[in-house]
Amino acid sequence: MDLQGEVCIVTGAGQGIGRACATALADAGAHVVVADIDGGSAKDAAQAISDRGGPDGLAVTADVGDLAQIDRMVSACVERFGRLDAIVNNAGVTRRAYIMDLDEADFDRIHRVNVKGVFFCLQRAAREMIPRRRGVIVNIASIAGRGFAGTSNAIYAASKGAVISLTRTAAQQLARHDINVNAVCPGVVRTPLYDDVIRKRAEQKGWRVEDAEAEAARAIPLRRPNEPEDIAAMVVFLVSPGARNITGQSLNVDGGLIPS
């Protein structure tokens, strides 16, 4: 999938899924704006892409819950590369908690990033894409938004359900401008949160970490969790010309955990 010369923003790109997406897009030939609330992580990820021989990129510090910072992020992209072809709205937050242990601060924090951030990044990116009648928006949702019982918490699930719904409506309304909007719904992904859950499960049951990992994998039909690169591969496809007639879809990458 050739993205030579394309210009993409990836939010939450300092680590995990976002970093894998930024790297994969650059490997496909795109100029990538690596955006993260942690400016040091953004710079490290951008430097790693450069060290791989990737196209010229840009590291930007951005809190997607702040509209002024969203505007600065997109403006920096356009000033550097002259346009914006695609945005991957990956930045998100959560914590593992039982429904009765969640509070208002959890609700506000999670929805500020996972819903407000995605909507206003989408909208700001679309303002650049509409005049050119061209663009791709990919939102990173989750199978939690489809009712996955293993979700980290109920508020997170609600936020990802909102992203799935937003994707469908945005696709309908932006189609007249030839802008594609899709979502990727990851299942279980090997991230620091996943590693922490596995370690805690092993401690609680007196197991080796390897045994806790094997138990978790048995719940997945393909018997393996995602690597961040699995999500990145779907993102690159959705940004590529091969997906030019796909819009309004929320595509699971979950090893068969739940139906679409």
**221 pLDDT band (50/70/90 cuts)?**
very high
Q: What is the pLDDT of residue 253?
A: 98
pLDDT band at 100 (very low <50, low <70, confident <90, very high): very high
- What is the residue-averaged pLDDT of the chain? 96
**pLDDT score of 83 more than 90:** yes
Whether 200 has a pLDDT exceeding 90, the answer reads no
Domains along the sequence of the chain with CATH:
7-189+227-253 (3.40.50.720), 190-225 (no CATH)
Query: Which pLDDT tens digit goes with each residue over 225-258?
Result: 999 999 999 999 999 999 999 999 999 999 999 9
Residue 40: C-alpha distances to residues 15, 25, 61, 79 (Å): 11, 20, 8, 21
Q: Give the pLDDT of residue 64.
A: 98
Percent of all residues in the chain with a pLDDT value above 90, rounded to a whole number: 92
Provide the pLDDT for residue 179: 98
Residues annotated as catalytic are 156
- Structure confidence at residue 192 (pLDDT): 81
* Predicted confidence band of residue 80 (pLDDT cuts 50, 70, 90): very high
Q: Is the pLDDT of residue 193 over 80?
A: no
Q: Are 141 and 165 in contact (CB under 8 A)?
A: no
- Please report the beta strands in 146-228, taking only residues with DSSP state E, as ranges in sequence order: 179-186
What is the rounded distance in angstroms from the CA atom of residue 64 to the CA atom of residue 35? Answer: 9
Residue 61 has pLDDT above 80, yes or no: yes
For residues 110-124, average pLDDT:
98
Q: Is the confidence at residue 260, as pLDDT, over 80?
A: no
HSE at residue 134, side-chain half, CA atoms within 13 A, is: 10
Q: Phi-psi category of 34—alpha, beta or left, where left has phi over 0 and alpha has psi -120 to 50?
A: beta
pLDDT computed for residue 7 by the predictor: 98
